A = this chain, B = another copy of it.
């Protein structure tokens, strides 16, 4: 059966969170190393979700985790960050190939984020970055966080598609291993500067993913018969 829907990791895969968050940090905290602050903030992301994945804490939207993490990182940097800086994650810029690639893919497929971001966050980010999603899927409709299988399964169920009719697109091999485990098709698109010029992880595919693409233009070309 042909893949009918493509669902996407967003932070890192569709948008350059590192330089975009650093830009927002620089606006309100000119006294800190903005790239270091952005990196430290992002580093709090997975541990915050881990407590929810593990059942220690009920589902809390990523907007709130970002806000909590912001205060922790600000304390580490010995600054006081305004609460509104948490909205920096709604103003991330897309990688240069993303909008045109998604627009081409949308002609033949349903396209949607399958991110750990909330519906509100993904909606506002899409408006900022002009991401032409058909709908918003991901963590909030599953009330849990990737890479838990139910996040991928809830996204397929919301589209009323079988898992093998849906392809997960990500720049992170771990995301694709989890999606494959849940039964989805997989596509890898490398983002070798997501973590800056000295990135050491996810520089290439670590398995025989169904599609391995150089960018979203290439992904669209490979999926067009």
Partner-B contacts on A (CB < 8 A): 61, 63, 110, 112, 118-120, 122-124, 126-127, 133-137, 140-141, 158-161
* Copies, count: 2
- What residues on B are CB-neighbors of A123 within 8 Å? 110, 112, 134-135, 159
A124, chain B: closest CB distance, angstroms: 8
B158 and A120 within 8 A (CB): yes
Q: Are B63 and A160 in contact (CB under 8 A)?
A: yes
A-B contact pairs, 21 of them (CB 8 A): A61-B160, A63-B160, A110-B123, A110-B124, A112-B123, A118-B158, A118-B160, A119-B137, A119-B141, A119-B158, A120-B158, A122-B135, A123-B134, A123-B159, A126-B134, A126-B135, A133-B135, A135-B135, A135-B136, A136-B136, A141-B141
**A134–B140 CB distance below 8 A:** no
- A88 to chain B minimum Cβ distance, whole angstroms, is 15
Q: A159–B119 contact, CB under 8 A?
A: yes
Known: A110-B127, A120-B161, A136-B136. 16 other contacts (CB 8 A): A61-B160, A63-B160, A110-B123, A110-B124, A112-B123, A118-B158, A118-B160, A119-B135, A119-B137, A119-B141, A119-B159, A120-B158, A122-B135, A123-B134, A123-B159, A126-B134
Q: How far is the CB of A125 from chain B (nearest CB, A)?
A: 11
Interface centre among A61, A112, A119, A135 (most CB of B within 10 A): A135
For the complex of A and B, the 3 pairs showing the least CB-CB separation, nearest first, are A120-B160, A135-B136, A119-B158
CA separation between A135 and B159, bound complex, in Å?
14
Q: Which partner residue on chain B sits nearest A137 by CB separation?
A: B119
Q: Bound complex: CA of A136 vs CA of B155, how far in Å?
A: 13
Q: How far is the CB of A161 from chain B (nearest CB, A)?
A: 8
A61 to B157, CA, bound (A): 11
- Set of chain B residues within 8 Å of A120, measured between Cβ atoms: 158-161
